[in-house]
Amino acid sequence: MPKHYSVWLSHATQALHEMLSSGRAVEIITVRLAPYRAWLAERSLENTAMTRRRYVEELATRGGEIRQGGAPGLSDSIAAKRDD
């Protein structure tokens, strides 16, 4: 993952445009740091590209924020960082 937000944002924006241009549907998932860290700790997982993807997939599938214990709650907005 890029060290600077501006680099990540540029890559994410480019990837978003490429997906939309190819006709793919895109859902934006917001990852809140505190719930994500709690999710990692609860499962004894490290912060890796694979675990970030898994977390985002769970958020998207449940339609909201994942709380401790795995119970979903409604989220005001949804966005995921890509590692590509």
**Domain assignments of the chain as residue spans, ordered by start:** 5-74
From the number of C-beta atoms within 10 Å of its C-beta (0-12, 13-18, 19+), residue 77 rates as exposed
Q: Are 36 and 48 in contact (CB under 8 A)?
A: no
Q: Identify the band that residue 65 occupies on the pLDDT scale cut at 50, 70 and 90.
A: low
Q: What is the pLDDT of residues 2-45, one digit of tens each?
A: 788 899 889 989 999 999 999 998 888 888 999 999 999 999 99
Q: Cβ–Cβ contacts within 10 Å for residue 55, how many?
A: 21
pLDDT at 39: 94
* CA 45 from centroid of its chain's CA atoms: 16
Model confidence at 80: pLDDT above 60: no
pLDDT at 42: 95
Q: Are 78 and 30 in contact (CB under 8 A)?
A: yes
Model confidence at 73: pLDDT above 70: no
